[in-house]
A and B are shown apart, each in its own frame.
Chain A
Amino acid sequence: GAGVSQSPRYKVAKRGQDVALRCDPISGHVSLFWYQQALGQGPEFLTYFQNEAQLDKSGLPSDRFFAERPEGSVSTLKIQRTQQEDSAVYLCATRLDNEQFFGPGTRLTVL
């Protein structure tokens, strides 16, 4: 496809459940980002990849959050033992020439 795609678009999880969110980047874009957008807030940086290397994970809120991009293309954000405060929209973005292109996001609701 022409843009960044994410799946699933919506995810409802019970507290304590593990979830995996997928990002399919724009082909050829080396840089990939994950952001978290809580209700009524702007997106907040979680982590950054350049190809398969995770160069910055300073924004991950706890060790329950884990991201990977093993082949330098598709990326997965995994959240273990979800908590209610993890409810948010998770955005994936890729970058080219100082511009970031965002996917539609995955809305995670933890009950």
Chain B
Amino acid sequence: AQSVTQLDSQVPVFEEAPVELRCNYSSSVSVYLFWYVQYPNQGLQLLLKYLSGSTLVESINGFEAEFNKSQTSFHLRKPSVHISDTAEYFCAVSGGSGGSNYKLTFGKGTLLTVNP
């Protein structure tokens, strides 16, 4: 069985400050890792994903996440946030290549609030 822990339920920050949203997972098999974002009154959108290869992955809007196998973590970072980044962020895991990789297991989410 897989599980995901998002250590912070809420993260308030000021505009242009750096932010890190933490995510730890547990799994007995290889994994694929994802960050989804949910803006107010909208559906879940994929922000970035790790499937294989480089452990550092980036999104088009300046977020990045690093897969750390030894620490079983996939923390999300952004060096300078904008008001428009205010949203709920979900970390998710599925089984990787050769595993049961069809369903996602989500964390409880972290509400990022960017204040002016």
Contact = CB atoms under 8 A, between A and B. Distances in A.
Interface in A15-39: 31, 33, 35
Contacts of B49: 98-99
Interface stretch (A41-49, A62-70, A73-81): A41-49
Nearest to A31: B102
A44 B106 contact: yes
Contacts of B103: 33, 45, 48, 56, 59
Interface string B1-33: 000100000000000000000000000000010
A104 B39 CA distance: 11
Contacts, number: 52
Contact of A91 (B44, B102, B105): B44
Q: Is the interface of B mostly helix, strand, loop or mixed?
A: strand
Interface string A73-102: 000000000000000000101010011111
Contact of B102 (A43, A95, A103, A104): A95
B42 A100 contact: no
A41 B92 CA distance: 13
Nearest to A50: B102
A98 to B, nearest CB: 6
B108 interface: yes
A31 B45 CA distance: 17
B101 interface: yes
The range of chain A's interface size is 20 to 34
A1 interface: no
A42 B5 CA distance: 11
Contacts of B44: 43, 91, 93, 102
Interface in B63-92: 90, 92
A102 B39 CA distance: 13
5 contacts: A41-B108, A42-B4, A44-B106, A48-B102, A56-B103
Interface of A: 31, 33, 35, 40-45, 48, 55-56, 59, 91, 93, 95, 98-105
Instruction: For the complex of A and B, list the 8 residue pairs with the smallest distance between their C-beta atoms, beginning with the closest.
Output: A42-B106, A102-B44, A104-B43, A45-B103, A102-B43, A42-B108, A43-B106, A42-B90
